[in-house]
């Protein structure tokens, strides 16, 4: 199946600094990628939809200027947490939809392994 990677898997940064997280589709092209945030023992919260070659679409309540998303190529989307604060500490997961074989308009989501961000 399709493989999605994320880098780094873990990052610790100081408050006020910025952190970039990469999401790559390794064996397929992804015109769309999704960024999720997951709090401990909670479900995934969709933050934004990353679109190759155009602006990302943010969910309500997500600060665009704080969570910068760039989808510069068909295999790479990046999420930059700007001026990070301790409350931004979380598990960030990306995913890419892949058409399911043999079924029109049926997509399977392939998830990256996640990035654990800790802001001190």
Partner 1 sequence: AQSVTQLGSHVSVSEGALVLLRCNYSSSVPPYLFWYVQYPNQGLQLLLKYTTGATLVKGINGFEAEFKKSETSFHLTKPSAHMSDAAEYFCAVRAGWGGSARQLTFGSGTQLTVLP
Neighbours of 41 (CB within 10 A): 5
| 103 is a site residue for partner 1 (CB under 8 A) | yes
Q: Which has the closest alpha carbon to 92: 100, 84, 103, 104?
A: 84
Pair of tokens at residue 94 = 């990306």
Binder among 4, 19, 69, 119 for partner 1 (CB under 8 A): 4
Other CB atoms within 10 Å distance of the CB of residue 4: 25
Q: Specify whether the CB–CB gap between 78 and 18 falls below 8 A.
A: no
Among the listed ranges 12-20, 61-69, 70-78, 97-105, the one in contact with partner 1 (CB under 8 A) is: 97-105
Comparing CB distances to partner 1, the nearer of 14 and 103 is 103
User: What x-and-dash track marks residues 16-55 binding partner 1 by CB under 8 A?
Assistant: ----------------x-x------xxxx-x--x------
């Amino acid at each position: 199946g399709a493989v999605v990677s994320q880098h780094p898997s873990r990052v610790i940064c100081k408050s006020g600094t910025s952190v970039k997280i990469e999401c790559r589709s390794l064996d397929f092209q992804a015109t769309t990628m999704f960024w999720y945030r997951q709090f401990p023992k909670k479900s995934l919260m969709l933050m934004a939809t990353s679109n190759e070659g155009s602006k990302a679409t943010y969910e309500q309540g997500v600060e665009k200027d704080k969570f910068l998303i760039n989808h510069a190529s068909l295999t790479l989307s990046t999420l930059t947490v700007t001026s990070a604060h301790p409350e931004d500490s979380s598990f960030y997961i990306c995913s890419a939809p892949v058409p399911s074989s043999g079924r029109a308009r049926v997509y399977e989501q392939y998830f990256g392994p996640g990035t654990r961000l800790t802001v001190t």
